[in-house]
C-alpha cells in the first residue's frame, strides 16, 4: 500500500490515477469522510471494492465526480430538467443527490433500480480533484466496514481496509467527519433520505423547498 500525503507541496498523485485506472481500490479524503473508492466505469472493480467493505452488493452506491462540468459533460449528460437544475443548486457540497438515470449508466451501482442513481460532487482538494477528473468518475463509499463509524481520519479507517487497498491519500483530519446528507431530487418535493454532514433543512432551503 502506497501512502500519499496531500500536505506535501506538489505531491505526486499519478500512482493514485494509475491504481484507479487499473481497477484497484483506494482510500481518499472527501469533504465529509474518508472514502473507499475505485473507478466507477469498471464493474468488477466496484464489486471487489464493495466486498472489501462488506457491503451488500444489492444496495445502491454513489458515483462521485470532481466537478459539475464533468457530471454534465460525460458522467450523466442526460441529467436535464428539474433534477439537473436542482443538482446545480446544492453541488458541489456535502450532499449525495438521487437523480434520474434515463440511460441506465453505471447499472452496477444502482441496486435494483437502474432508472435512478446517487451522485456526489464533493469539494475536494484541487490536486485530488484533478486526479479524479483524469479518471472520469469514481465509486465512493465511506471507508469503514459496513455499519461502522464514519472515518474522519486515516486512524479511523479499519486496518482490514487499509491493508487491502493500493493507495491511501492522507488529507489529515476532516472537519465534517460525518457522511453526506442524502436528498432525493426525483419527487416534486425533494425528500431527505439521510441527515448527515450538512443539516437537511439547509439543503432543502437551498432548493426552495
Q: Which residue ranges make up each domain of the chain?
A: 2-206
For the segment 105-119, the average pLDDT, to the nearest whole number, is 96
pLDDT given for residue 36 in this prediction: 98
pLDDT given for residue 96 in this prediction: 98
Q: CATH for 2-206?
A: 3.90.870.10
Quick check: 57 pLDDT over 90? no
Q: Which residue has the higher pLDDT, 103 or 56?
A: 103
Quick check: 18 pLDDT over 80? yes
Taking only the tens place, the pLDDT of each residue in 148-184 is: 999 999 999 999 999 999 999 999 999 999 999 999 9
- Please state whether beta strands 95-100 and 181-184 pair in parallel, antiparallel, or not at all (unpaired): parallel
Using CA atoms, how far residue 115 sits from 78, 103, 108, 109, 203, in Å, is 12, 8, 12, 11, 23
Mean pLDDT score across all residues of the chain: 96
pLDDT given for residue 146 in this prediction: 87
Give the burial string for 15-46 (b: 16+ CB within 10 Å, else e).
ebbebbeebbbbbbbbbbbbbbbbbbbbeebb
pLDDT given for residue 85 in this prediction: 96
Residue 5, judged by CB atoms within 10 A of its CB (0-12, 13-18, 19+), counts as exposed
Q: Is 93 helix (H, G, I), strand (E, B) or coil?
A: coil
pLDDT given for residue 147 in this prediction: 87
Taking the CA atoms of the chain, what radius of gyration do you get in angstroms?
16
Quick check: 56 pLDDT over 90? no
pLDDT given for residue 157 in this prediction: 97
Cα 170 to chain centroid distance, Å, stands at 16
Quick check: 209 pLDDT over 80? no
Q: Is 141 helix (H, G, I), strand (E, B) or coil?
A: strand
Quick check: 19 pLDDT over 90? yes
Amino acid at each position: 500500500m502506497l501512502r500519499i500525503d496531500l500536505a506535501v507541496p506538489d505531491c505526486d498523485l499519478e500512482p493514485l490515477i494509475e491504481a484507479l485506472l487499473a481497477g484497484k481500490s483506494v482510500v481518499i479524503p472527501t469533504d465529509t469522510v474518508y472514502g473507499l473508492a475505485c473507478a466507477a466505469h469498471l464493474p468488477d472493480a466496484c464489486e471487489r471494492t464493495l466486498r472489501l467493505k462488506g457491503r451488500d452488493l444489492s444496495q445502491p452506491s454513489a458515483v462521485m465526480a470532481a466537478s459539475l462540468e464533468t457530471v454534465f459533460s460525460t458522467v450523466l449528460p442526460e441529467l436535464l430538467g428539474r433534477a439537473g437544475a436542482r443538482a446545480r443548486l446544492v453541488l458541489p457540497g456535502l450532499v449525495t443527490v438521487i437523480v434520474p438515470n434515463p440511460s441506465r449508466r453505471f447499472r452496477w451501482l444502482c441496486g435494483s433500480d437502474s432508472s435512478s442513481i446517487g451522485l456526489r460532487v464533493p469539494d475536494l482538494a484541487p490536486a485530488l480533484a484533478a486526479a479524479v477528473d483524469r479518471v472520469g468518475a469514481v465509486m465512493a463509499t465511506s471507508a469503514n466496514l459496513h455499519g461502522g463509524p464514519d472515518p474522519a481520519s486515516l486512524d479511523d479507517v479499519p486496518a482490514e481496509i487499509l491493508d487491502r487497498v493500493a493507495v491511501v491519500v492522507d488529507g489529515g483530519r476532516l472537519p465534517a467527519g460525518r457522511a453526506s446528507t442524502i436528498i432525493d431530487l426525483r419527487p416534486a418535493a425533494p425528500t431527505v433520505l439521510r441527515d448527515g454532514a450538512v443539516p437537511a433543512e439547509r439543503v432543502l432551503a437551498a432548493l426552495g423547498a
